[in-house]
Structure 1
């Protein structure tokens, strides 16, 4: 089997343009993957096309060899585009053998995966709004939810802002009760001292974890914060090397790792990250802020990774048309994603529907601007304005 063509599709999700990849083969089997970025769309789309000369003609079922060839061709480098291509290769291999991808990863250790909701607080930074929004998510069956109450804070948090942030957390905790897990997102916002102050203040609410309280790539700072507060600290979504995860879990200070399948290099490297974490008695909680396709990829990994803790999911809070652009989206029922038995990843793109939602030049989430929580496009005249 040989790869004959690569296609990319950019889909205009309002706060993050989605990038999908489809590989074609000479035997008629196709595979799909996702290569969505954050504040980058066109560079990643171009990167996929640039890699096509290194991919076309190769056997997609020899996944490790293909990945290694790309890695060396990029002078021991990595790109999100490689992850999308790698996912599509796994999809092709699963379809060829008529088994789900998780079967190729050693088989399922679970048939359903606990999920936590994100993206549910699209509105004003007000405790009353957060309470209403959280109640709706709990009514949907979720038993865990994540949110960032800190506004557009950067490194420091003014006392007034700290009070409001904690008031939001307190209101949500009081509304949902003690049996619902709260996950507090830090978005890499704080200095060590501020993160420690905030982390100690969060202890009374017993969050499941405090996520990326300081710059994720500053492993020493992350470990320092984790050693000074009682709330578990989770990190790793920005990591692009296995060595970074080895450093993060060294000494068993961090017990929750959050690899992002697009950043770490695909399905194979996610499984290697899970093994590194397991060697230090740490749990896997994959980061996932993309489309339902990326959720499906993570479900295959989560089915096979025996140290999986929980899976992030935006699928119930995405745009209404998200389900129309693909077939096979995995629903969340009673707080769990059920592992499907379809061959490959179990997702197919609806190309005619994809074309209805083109790239948007303002489809980006600016986490350090006031009002980012609304996940709305700003008027064109506001682009570049320092708010």
Structure 2
């Protein structure tokens, strides 16, 4: 078997264009991967186009050799393009052997994984709206919710904003009760001093974690914040080197990280990161702010990796047409996702539906602008600001 072509499809999801990668083979088996990256849509698409000639003609079942060649060709850099091709090759291998990918990673360690909802807090930015939406999710069976209560704030909070944000979090906690986990998203927006200050009042709401309070690139400062914070600080989605995880978890400043599979080398890279974290008794909560294809990728890992704490999921809040784009993806039931048992990733894409929702340059979030949490993309006028 050899790779005959690698194609990219950009799907115009309203708040983030999805870059989907299709690897075709001489045996007729097709594998899927994802190289989505927010404002990196066209760069990520072209990155796949630029390296695909290095993979065409190669055996997709020899994943390690193929990825090693791509990695070295990019001067020892892991990219979403490489990760997408890598995942697609695992999909091909699973289909070729007629087994799910997790079976090739040592077998299933769980039947289902608990998920936390993200992307649910659209609409009016008020304590009442947040509380109402949170309650509706708990009624559906969710036991964990993540949200960014900070709106357009950046770097520091004034006293008025701090009081309002406290009201939002308090209203959610009051509505869902003490048995539901709350995760607070920082989106890397604060400086270290402000992050530590915020962490002290977040403790009042029994939050499970404060995610990405500062820039991930400064791991020393991240460790400093984590050690000064009375609540758990998690990070990892921005790490693109395995040694970044080693530095963070070996500091004993956290016990959960959230790797992004596309940034760490796909499935093989995720297994390596899981092993690093396991050696320091640290759990994983894979980042997952892309398409249902990415959810299905993460589920294969959740099926095979023991040190999984929880899995992020946006899928309940997608546009209705996405159910037609991915007609057989796994749905959340009572706060859990079952580990799929179909060969490979266990998901297919309807390319006709994809064509009807093409790339749109406005499909991205204007983070730290008022109303970004509505996830409707940026308007043309905003792009000119």
Q: Judge same fold: TM > 0.5, yes or no.
A: yes
Residue 40 (structure 1) shift: 1.3
Q: Residue 299 of structure 2 aligns with which residue?
A: 299
Residue 253 (structure 1) shift: 1.2
Give SS of 2:296's match: helix
Q: Indicate the larger mover: 115-124 or 364-373.
A: 364-373
Q: Which whole-Å CA distance do the structure 2 matches of 1:145 and 1:191 have between them?
A: 25
Q: Residue 173 of structure 1 aligns with which residue?
A: 173
Residue 359 (structure 1) shift: 0.6
Give SS of 2:40's match: coil
Q: Which whole-Å CA distance do the structure 2 matches of 1:232 and 1:254 have between them?
A: 6
Residue 377 (structure 1) shift: 3.0
Deviations 1:147-189 (A, max 9, x none): 0001122211111111111111100000000011000001001
Q: Residue 134 of structure 2 aligns with which residue?
A: 134
State whether structure 2 residue 353 is matched by structure 1 residue 356. no
Residue 110 (structure 1) shift: 0.4
Write the mapping of 1:58-137 to structure 2, written as runs, cut at 5 A: 58-137=58-137
Unaligned runs of 5+ in 2: none
Deviations 1:117-138 (A, max 9, x none): 0000111221011011111211
State whether structure 2 residue 228 is matched by structure 1 residue 236. no
Residue 265 (structure 1) shift: 1.5
Q: Residue 162 of structure 1 aligns with which residue?
A: 162
Residue 326 (structure 1) shift: 1.4
Residue 362 (structure 1) shift: 0.4
Give SS of 1:44's match: helix
With normalisation by structure 1, the TM-score equals: 0.98
Give SS of 1:220's match: helix
Q: Which whole-Å CA distance do the structure 2 matches of 1:375 and 1:340 have between them?
A: 28
Q: Is the 8 A contact 1:124 1:373 kept in 2?
A: no
Deviations 1:1-29 (A, max 9, x none): 10001111100000000011111111111
Residue 101 (structure 1) shift: 0.3
Q: Residue 373 of structure 1 aligns with which residue?
A: 373
CA RMSD of aligned residues (A): 0.9
Write the mapping of 1:247-286 to structure 2, written as runs, cut at 5 A: 247-286=247-286
Q: Which whole-Å CA distance do the structure 2 matches of 1:166 and 1:38 have between them?
A: 29
Give SS of 2:381's match: helix
Q: Which whole-Å CA distance do the structure 2 matches of 1:328 and 1:280 have between them?
A: 37
Q: Which whole-Å CA distance do the structure 1 matches of 2:166 and 2:213 have between them?
A: 15
With normalisation by structure 2, the TM-score equals: 0.98
Q: Which whole-Å CA distance do the structure 2 matches of 1:275 and 1:96 have between them?
A: 27
Q: Residue 152 of structure 1 aligns with which residue?
A: 152
Write the mapping of 1:174-193 to structure 2, written as runs, cut at 5 A: 174-193=174-193
Q: Which whole-Å CA distance do the structure 2 matches of 1:118 and 1:298 have between them?
A: 15
Residue 199 (structure 1) shift: 0.3
Residue 48 (structure 1) shift: 0.8
Residue 56 (structure 1) shift: 0.2
Q: Which whole-Å CA distance do the structure 2 matches of 1:177 and 1:218 have between them?
A: 35
Deviations 1:51-104 (A, max 9, x none): 111010001011111110000111112221111111100000000001000011
Aligned length: 385
Give SS of 2:39's match: coil
Deviations 1:248-275 (A, max 9, x none): 1113111111100111120110111111
Q: Which whole-Å CA distance do the structure 2 matches of 1:384 and 1:280 have between them?
A: 47
Q: Which whole-Å CA distance do the structure 2 matches of 1:156 and 1:27 have between them?
A: 56
Q: Is the 8 A contact 1:11 1:355 kept in 2?
A: yes
Q: Which whole-Å CA distance do the structure 2 matches of 1:339 and 1:54 have between them?
A: 33
Q: Residue 383 of structure 1 aligns with which residue?
A: 383
